[in-house]
Structure 1
Amino acid sequence: MKRKVAIGIDIGGTSTKYGAVDEFGQIHFQGRLSTAKFGDFETYVKVLTRNIQNELETGNQYMEVIGVGIGAPHGVRQRGTIEHASNLPWKGVLPLVSEMKACMGVDVTLTNDANAAAIGELIFGGAKDMKDFVMVTLGTGLGSAIFSNGKLVEGHDGFAGELGHVTFEHENGRYCRCGRRGCLETYVSATGIKRTIFKLLADHFDDSELRTISFDNLSTHMITESAKAGDVVALEAFRYTGQILGSKLAETIHHTNPEAIFLLGGLSQAGMFIFEPTKEHMERNVHPVFNQKVQLLASELEGASASILGAAALVWHSDKELLISV
């Protein structure tokens, strides 16, 4: 008898991760491909589905796919589209659900990538017993999702919780791919901290091993390793990034009154270097009524698998009415 699985797909600005997940959260295969190298959206969808089908046909014939769940930047569940995602190579409104359904032949569910991660955290991770929490994903950009009273808040048009595009700095802020200036994700994300590193290197003369690395080759892992070695530029970059993130999370606490805020993604893997300054400035900027009441936690979902689990949970738990519009 074939084991039923859901295909979970996480579309990021740099790479796309996919895998087959059973109802218990066990991943039976997973893979990835570059998102950035595909200039044509239709070609990307065909290659992605072919890769998944090859996995199913090669040594995995015992699986039956019951559906596909997708988390993507600016993914809109109600319309099955990705709409004006600034960190993807394709612009405008993309009919992802209809394209994937035509290729895969099963039902396809789409939501914002951070929403998918939050559902994964609720079903498989550290938010299992929580009704009110916020998920913040720190990848190429910054995504966020809000659970209130046990329901995911989508908003009127599917775009609630876009913390990455709240404004940190108005007139002289960093340019964002969305066309505006000063968006939070231009400071707090894998890309944002790289921009901070290069600004610090330009403004200061401190010795730093990061001076020898190009922007394209620099990664958050390298910055973290440099911080562990006491590199003053790396340490200052984390302090500055945490200060900004903490102050904005304080505002989010005022809006949502969550039990916890979870951080997920490459930048969150810096551990104490990002968590300590973020927690410090979060507490410093909240109203006293919220002091020490909101936990700042690392996601309990495992690394690259987290987003796959979250996307697959859209299929397995569609009957739980987790998705709402308010």
Structure 2
Amino acid sequence: MSKPYVIGMDMGGTNTVFGIVDARGQVIASDSVKTKKHAKFEDYIADLHQAVTRLLEANDAVDKIKGIGIGAPNGNYYTGEIVKAPNLPWGPVVPLAETVSKAFNGIPVAVTNDANAAALGEMTYGAARGMKDFIMITLGTGVGSGIVINGQLVYGHDGFAGELGHVIMKRNNGRVCGCGRTGCLEAYCSATGVARTAREFLEVRTEPSLLRNIDIEEITSKDVYDAAIAGDKIAKDIFEFTGKILGEAMADMTAFSSPQAFVLFGGLTKSGDLLMKPLKEAYDKNVLPIFRGKAKILLSELKESDAAVLGASALGWEAKYRYEVPGSLATSNEIPAVSPEM
């Protein structure tokens, strides 16, 4: 019996990264195509099909792909569509799963958003393996989340549940968020939120700072990290502010689902104790006493270079399983295809 593979795809607004993944969670090979350069969805699919086919041929995997999983902006797990993605030019509703499946001769395809794909990746291959109740939080340009309860990802009735990045942390005079509301967690605890905090602090505080050597509109979260490591007081206070808000939010999340763990992923987690120390202090201070000391706060165990592809590939195994067992909504933790014996 030939060794089975799946394809994991991470569709971003700029690039789509994809890879061939085996049942042990090894990325055999990967490549990418430009997403944004295609004005027409059909042209994007043609380019994607050509690039993926090249990769399959180069790795003797053309007839070995059993499923395709795609993490996409505003990807709907139930319908396989992308719905009103702000950074894609192809219209309000894009039939992603159906179109990709047709392009690849009927291979089953499953779609979800990027944070849910990350949660599946951690549950199948990473820090949450064996857990049935955890919350994945992705700290990147935005703040995403995937909620797993009793071994199942929470999708809600419409496929869009789990937007914890848009819980409101500042009810009065909060920052405008990209979603159009004000005071969202994402506006404070994303990489862009850290940069916004830096600009605010520099405008209202007068003490010297390494950050003042950078054009205020060009400051990034990496600049803030570098300054903090160099001992800059304002930069350290920015991380203190960010970690406190995130810890408070996570304390509230615990009251909702009593997770065994939070798994954090994304560039901001590289800041280490600059973020994690105030986060944990705020979490412990604000969590309900009945939950205190129970939930672990973990960092992702997936290699950053492979994480997006692995997360989506876990959905690919699920697509295979759902195709073989019609009507099943089993998560990848329950899918026999992740066993090395397969």
TM-score, reference length from structure 2: 0.85
Contact 1:14 1:140 in 2 (8 A): no
Aligned residue number for residue 119 of structure 1: 120
Provide Cα deviations, 1:243-286, integer angstroms capped at 9, x if missing partner: 11111111100000011000011112222222111111111111
Change (3 A) 1:145 1:222: same
Aligned residue number for residue 321 of structure 1: 330
Q: Measure the CA separation in 2 of the matches of 1:237 and 1:294.
A: 25
Change (3 A) 1:29 1:223: farther
Q: CA deviation at 1:87?
A: 5.4
Larger deviation, residues 219-228 vs 259-268: 219-228
Change (3 A) 1:159 1:82: same
Aligned residue number for residue 308 of structure 1: 309
Contact 2:75 2:81 in 1 (8 A): yes
Q: CA deviation at 1:194?
A: 1.6
Provide Cα deviations, 1:170-214, integer angstroms capped at 9, x if missing partner: 342222222222221111112211221222222223333333445
Aligned residue number for residue 26 of structure 2: 26
Q: Which runs of 5+ in 1 are unaligned?
A: none
Q: Measure the CA separation in 2 of the matches of 1:8 and 1:290.
A: 36
User: Is 1:175 aligned to 2:181, yes or no?
Assistant: no
The one-letter amino acid of 1:251's match is D
Contact 1:12 1:140 in 2 (8 A): no
The one-letter amino acid of 1:193's match is V
Provide Cα deviations, 1:83-105, integer angstroms capped at 9, x if missing partner: 22345566622222123223333
The one-letter amino acid of 2:59's match is N
Q: Measure the CA separation in 2 of the matches of 1:194 and 1:89.
A: 27
Q: CA deviation at 1:54?
A: 2.8
Q: 1:26-175 maps to which residues of 2 (within 5 A)?
A: 26-33=26-33, 35=35, 40-57=40-57, 59-63=58-62, 64-86=64-86, 92-105=92-105, 106-175=107-176
Q: CA deviation at 1:298?
A: 0.2
The one-letter amino acid of 1:61's match is D
User: Is 1:288 aligned to 2:289, yes or no?
Assistant: yes
Larger deviation, residues 199-208 vs 131-140: 199-208
The secondary structure found in structure 2 opposite 1:194 is: helix
Q: Measure the CA separation in 2 of the matches of 1:282 and 1:170.
A: 20
User: Is 1:230 aligned to 2:239, yes or no?
Assistant: no
Q: Please identify which structure carries the higher strand content.
A: 1
The secondary structure found in structure 1 opposite 2:231 is: coil
Provide Cα deviations, 1:262-315, integer angstroms capped at 9, x if missing partner: 001111222222211111111111111111111111011111311211110112
Aligned residue number for residue 185 of structure 1: 186
Percentage identity across aligned positions? 44
Count of residue correspondences? 322
Q: State the superposition RMSD in angstroms.
A: 2.5
The secondary structure found in structure 1 opposite 2:82 is: strand
Q: CA deviation at 1:223?
A: 2.9
Q: Highest CA radius of gyration, 1 or 2? A: 2
Q: Measure the CA separation in 2 of the matches of 1:177 and 1:138.
A: 15
The one-letter amino acid of 1:134's match is I
Change (3 A) 1:226 1:35: farther
Q: Measure the CA separation in 1 of the matches of 2:32 and 2:219.
A: 20
Contact 1:146 1:152 in 2 (8 A): yes
Contact 1:87 1:140 in 2 (8 A): no
TM-score, reference length from structure 1: 0.89
The one-letter amino acid of 2:146's match is A
The one-letter amino acid of 1:19's match is G
Q: Which runs of 5+ in 2 are unaligned?
A: 322-328, 333-342
Contact 2:126 2:301 in 1 (8 A): yes
